[in-house]
Amino acid sequence: MPADLLEGLNPDQLAAVTAAGSALVLAGAGSGKTRVLTTRIAWLVQTAQVSPMGILAVTFTNKAAKEMLTRLSAMLPINTRGMWVGTFHGLCNRLLRAHHRDAGLPQLFQILDSADQLSAIKRLMKALNVDTDKYEPRKLQAFINMNKEAGLRADKVEAWDPYTRRLTELFAEYDAQCNREGVVDFAELLLRSYELLVRNAMLREHYQTRFRHILVDEFQDTSKLQYAWLKLLAGPDTVLFAVGDDDQSIYAFRGAEVGNMAEFMRDLGIPEPIKLTQNYRSHSTILDAANAVIAQNANRLGKDLWTDAGVGEPIRHYEAIDDREEAGFVVEAIRELYREGLAYADVAVLYRSNAQSRAIEHALFTAGLPYRVYGGQRFFERAEIKHALAFLRLIANPEDDNAFLRVVNFPARGVGARTLEVLDAAARQGGMTLWQTACAGGGKNKGLAGFVGLIEAMRTEAEGLGLAETVEIVLARSGLIEHYKTEKEGEGRIENLNELTNAALAFTSEADDHSLTAFLAHAALEAGEHEAGASADAVQMMTVHAAKGLEFHTVFITGLEEGLFPHENALSDEGGLEEERRLMYVALTRARRRLFLSHAQQRMLHGQPRYGLPSRFLEEIPAVLVHSFNQRRFSPPSPAGVGGANPAPVQPSRDLPHKIGSRVSHPRYGEGVVSGYQGQGAEAEIRIAFPKVGDKWFILEYVKLTPC
């Protein structure tokens, strides 16, 4: 018995590593799942139950696959280079390369990344003279990928209307083009690999015989097609070993199917999962809070995390007047932590959506504290913000060639590369700017003429208006928001664009010079070149989604308000609230020692103040675990809170006629979900999210709503 491999495992980890047959391991946050996975592989090989070539191990990131191979190399004297360890896409690519003829592919087939795929779609639509205003290329791209990820070819897609039928026809044309050119997109890798195994029984049986043990990491994130692919590779004698946590399933928008875990147990006749519940990361106060929140979800496989690391400090909950004060509190608390000896890099600031980062970034930048935006870009470096700033730069100075080139054909208006080459040559020859040359060109190119007219109209409309109003003109007239509405994940970009109005309002209230030129200079100064380097000691900022898999000494979870976290979109989606609660569970369990929660009574949204209620997740944490405070009542225990009080604005009473998240019926719009309140007294309004018509605001005094 290889005692050295098994030494130090707790009883549950030992049971998982040495399980005799197929098993589902329910691995809680910080419970050592990576160690269990790698130790099991090493144990299987060392005890001669399987050769390294008889193992298939699937991870969700290349980083995780590399880490697994590195650990295995340290455990065993074997060459891991030939082992089948990798991501779903990586392993499917390997399978298709080995059997390209059977898959109907050339030996040197190329893989299209997302940008390449979009270019191929645009080329196809141009060749077929497709109206790209009606059938937007990005929307077609999302349609193709969505169906491929669901395992559907064009001939299997159900088209109920002419629009969808045309998308389906273009899907078929796109597939034909890719086959002619010998290229595959990312979604195609998995689908074609699955189809190859379905139709080729000999090949399928070969791999079922070869892979005696299949191990899968992060099983809660698998899609239906990924699970179907795994089942095809598993023969009657194959042992399947899946590790995951249904409480951390937060990627439904990417096709993750949390129900795969229960289906796995039914398919393989597994009566109970092996539960890893001992947490090696956090103090028990943090774990007790996480357990209490996630217990509100139904249909869980069920587990409670525990630790022998001690109780630890109480959770701090800060109630801010507004988002600016919330950001100030975060900054002052981090300063105090740093004075106590904690490195900046040991602190993470989490938020539900990227747009929330702007106020906190500004506060950190102003205070001179180093920070990095993990897994994303700083606010003023995001592509959609740079597009909006380019329009603003042209309003301030139309001779700005860089700004001109950035948005002259974004969103697309028929100004192609050849047109720009001719324009640039004419500008150089005449010693003029691109703008001057475009104006002199008259109406020779409709796209250019339209762009010149758009900028002139914006400049005229913005004359005499304030900074925030100018930003709103750009958002309304540029077409950026309409463009991003067609993107699969464009909602976050639209939130960022709307946050630009708040940035302008904040700048106006803080700066002596309120001009557009001054604001553009401010945006440039806060751009990415001032961001701390990857190895520098800096505060880590990220969305909760980006934080999954990471851990920090101290964590701030900000913006805990109804409609923000949980997000308002989740309140009307089936299963949406439970996924939001799983997201909160992930956020809580990132903290090792200190945890700060915060919400604001008032937050700027689209340039207007909105009054929110504290998130229901705050109420789901037992009060005995939390120390709540605000600067108007008393100071927190160390680290200290922000100083200097402002009078609190009046906000809606918690004694509301309908609880946020409850279902009500409107006489005209039917059933909807209460998603927010704003205003006060006779002007108080209620917001209802209706499935068919979206959000509607009503004056409470006059609207008739019936609880459902």
Contact (CB, 8 A) for 352 and 360: no
361 in active site: no
Distance CA 557, CA 374 (A): 15
Dist. CA 457–CA 477, nearest whole Å: 9
Residue pair 68/62 in contact (Cβ under 8 Å)? The answer is no
166 carries an active-site annotation: no
Give CA separation, 597 vs 111, 289, 297, in Å.
44, 12, 21
Q: How far, CA to CA in Å, does 245 sit from each of 226, 402, 621?
A: 17, 48, 21
Tokens 């109003």 locate to 469
Beta bridge partners of 398: none
**Annotated catalytic residue, options 248, 285, 554, 601:** 248
- 332 part of the active site: no
Closest by CA to 528, choosing from 393, 388, 392, 377, is 377
Catalytic residue among 33, 281, 393, 548: 33
- 624 Cα distance to chain centroid: 32
Determine contact, residues 42/34, Cβ cutoff 8 Å. Answer: no
Whether 33 is a known active-site residue: answer yes
d(CA 678, CA 610): 6
Q: Is 590 a catalytic residue?
A: yes
**How many angstroms separate the CA atoms of 352 and 63, rounded?**
24
Q: Residue 683 — φ and ψ, nearest 5°? A: -100, 5
The residue annotated as part of the active site, out of 12, 185, 188, 218, is: 218
| Catalytic site includes residue 34 | yes
What does the block give as tokens for 322? 């507004």
Look at residue 397 and give its three-state secondary structure.
coil
CA 61 to chain centre: 15
Which listed residue (217, 245, 319, 562) is catalytic?
Answer: 217
**What H or E segment, with its residue span, contains residue 604?**
strand 591-605
Task: Give the integer Cα–Cα distance in Å for 117 and 111.
Answer: 9
Strands in 55-59's sheet, in edge-to-edge order, are 84-87, 55-59, 213-216, 239-244, 23-27, 274-276
Half-sphere exposure of 496 (CA within 13 A, CB side): 25
Report the C-alpha gap between 279 and 205 in whole angstroms: 40
Q: What separation in angstroms does the CA of 252 have from each of 189, 258, 276?
A: 20, 8, 24
Q: Give the residue numbers marked as catalytic.
A: 33-34, 217-218, 248, 590
